A and B are shown apart, each in its own frame.
Chain A
Amino acid sequence: GDSVTQMEGPVTLSEEAFLTINCTYTATGYPSLFWYVQYPGEGLQLLLKATKADDKGSNKGFEATYRKETTSFHLEKGSVQVSDSAVYFCAQLTGGGNKLTFGTGTQLKVEL
């Protein structure tokens, strides 16, 4: 079935370090892909999205490229800040499905 796999956390980085959070998916067809962010005690906010192969989603310095050949949608940021500390969820929406399928989430902690 359709699924999303994320790297396990927590990921702990120093401020201004480079961030990569890996995400791969399995799907029948061509899904739309999303990254959501959840700050402590809050709901999910859409961070970025890509709807077809080779699309690059970007927002707030974060980027992710839809790679059909490797079925991946890795999240990257060149220089993280303490305020980026949150849980990041990768998700997919598959054709004919009625729901977003989420990965288990990756907690990011950024320290000074």
Chain B
Amino acid sequence: NAGVMQNPRHLVRRRGQEARLRCSPMKGHSHVYWYRQLPEEGLKFMVYLQKENIIDESGMPKERFSAEFPKEGPSILRIQQVVRGDSAAYFCASSPYPPRTGTNYGYTFGSGTRLTVV
């Protein structure tokens, strides 16, 4: 049973280009979360998606960032017109159920995509 798969592992983009990060959740998981880890910082929530729906995007920057989780295929985090400040590790996580306290599971994280903007 493969875990959460993210690709690419490393991505280099020039300022102004677009970055597309992919995440395939664990089999049977229909809830996907994206987090960003800036250098020397903890993980910050960006967005929570279910199939074809954005449930919570309260952590997404207002401009240039978008996310989707189509009926078929992986979840995509898209960053348009990247800037140096977008350089970070982007982690995807998945879960089989909606977030709920008292449950006996945690999110499963992928290995991340490390984006470098030059």
Contact = CB atoms under 8 A, between A and B. Distances in A.
Decide if A and B are genuine partners: yes
B101 to A, nearest CB: 5
B106 interface: yes
Interface in A59-109: 89, 93-95, 97-105
A93 B31 CA distance: 15
Nearest to B108: A46
Interface string A15-48: 0000000000000011110101000001111100
A32 B102 contact: yes
A105 B109 CA distance: 16
Interface stretch (B12-20, B39-47, B61-69, B73-81): B39-47
A43 B43 contact: no
A43 B6 CA distance: 10
Chain B interface, DSSP helix/strand/loop, else mixed: loop
B102 A89 contact: no
Contact of B102 (A36, A52, A100): A52
B61 to A, nearest CB: 16
Contact of B106 (A42, A43, A46, A94): A46
A97 B112 CA distance: 23
Considering the complex of A and B, which 4 residue pairs feature the smallest CB-CB distances, nearest first?
A: A99-B45, A98-B56, A43-B111, A104-B42
Interface of A: 29-32, 34, 36, 42-46, 49, 51-52, 89, 93-95, 97-105
23 contacts: A34-B106, A43-B111, A44-B93, A46-B106, A46-B107, A49-B106, A51-B102, A52-B102, A93-B100, A95-B100, A98-B48, A98-B55, A98-B56, A98-B98, A98-B99, A99-B33, A100-B99, A100-B107, A101-B45, A102-B35, A102-B42, A103-B42, A105-B41
